[in-house]
Amino acid sequence: VTLSRRELLKRASAFVVVARLRWLEPAFAASPNTVRRTLAALVEFVVGDRTLVAATTPRLIRTLDRFLPGPLPLSATAAGILDATAAQVKPGATFADLNPAQKAKVFEALEALPVESAGSIRFLVGNLPDLAAFLAYSTPLGWRRARYAGIAQGRSELKGYWQGRKAAEP
Partner 1 sequence: MHDVIVVGAGGGGPVVAKELAARGLDVLLLEAGPAWDRSEREWSHHENAANNPATGVFRFGPGDRSQAPWARDLPQNCFVWQSAGVGGSTVHYFGNSPRAMPGAFADYAGADASAYDTASRAPLTYRELVPYYEWVEETLPVQTAAMGTKEEQFLHAAAKLGLPTQTSKDVTRPAFRPQENAILQPQGTAGRTSEAKRLVYPRAKGCTFCGYCPQGCVLPLESPRNLRAKRSTHASYVPMALTADHWTRGKAATLVPDAFAMRVETSGGRATGITWRDTRTGLRTTEEAKVVVLAAGAVETPRLWLNSGLPDPSGQVGRGLTDHYLDFVVGRLTRYTGSSKGPTSAARIDYPGRGCLEQAGLAPGLQAQGLTTSDSGIRGFYDNGAPDGGRLIGTRLHRFLSNVDRLLAVAVITDDDVVAENRVTLSQTLTPDVHGPVARVELRRRTARTLANREFLAARAVELVRAAGAKEVVRMNWAPVLLHIHSTMRMGAVVDSNGEALAVERLFVADNSALPNALGGPNPTLTTQALATRTAERIFARYFGGDPWVAHESPVPSTDDTVTAAVLASEVT
Q: Which stretch binds partner 1 (CB under 8 A): 31-39, 78-86, 90-98, 106-114?
A: 106-114
Q: How many CB atoms lie within 10 A of CB 149?
A: 8
Q: Binding of partner 1 at residue 90 (CB under 8 A)?
A: no
Spatial CB neighbours of 122, under 8 Å, sequence gap ≥ 6: 110, 111, 113, 115
CB atoms < 10 A from the CB of 45, how many? 22
Among 54, 58, 62, 99, binds partner 1 (CB under 8 A): 62
3 state SS of 99: coil
Q: Indicate whether 135 belongs to the interface with partner 1 (CB under 8 A).
A: yes
Binding flag, residue 126, partner 1 (CB under 8 A): yes
Q: Which one of 24-32, 80-88, 89-97, 112-120 is the stretch in contact with partner 1 (CB under 8 A)?
A: 112-120
Q: What are phi and psi of 163, to 5 degrees?
A: 55, 25
Site for partner 1 in 11-40 (CB under 8 A): 14, 16-17, 20-21
- The stretch among 33-41, 58-66, 75-83, 86-94 that binds partner 1 (CB under 8 A) is 58-66
Q: How far is the CB of 131 from partner 1 (least distance, A)?
A: 8
Instruction: Say how many residues touch partner 1, by CB under 8 A.
Output: 71
> What is the Rg, in whole angstroms, of the alpha carbon atoms belonging to the chain?
20
Q: Could you tell me if 122 and 110 are in contact, meaning their C-beta atoms sit under 8 angstroms apart?
A: yes
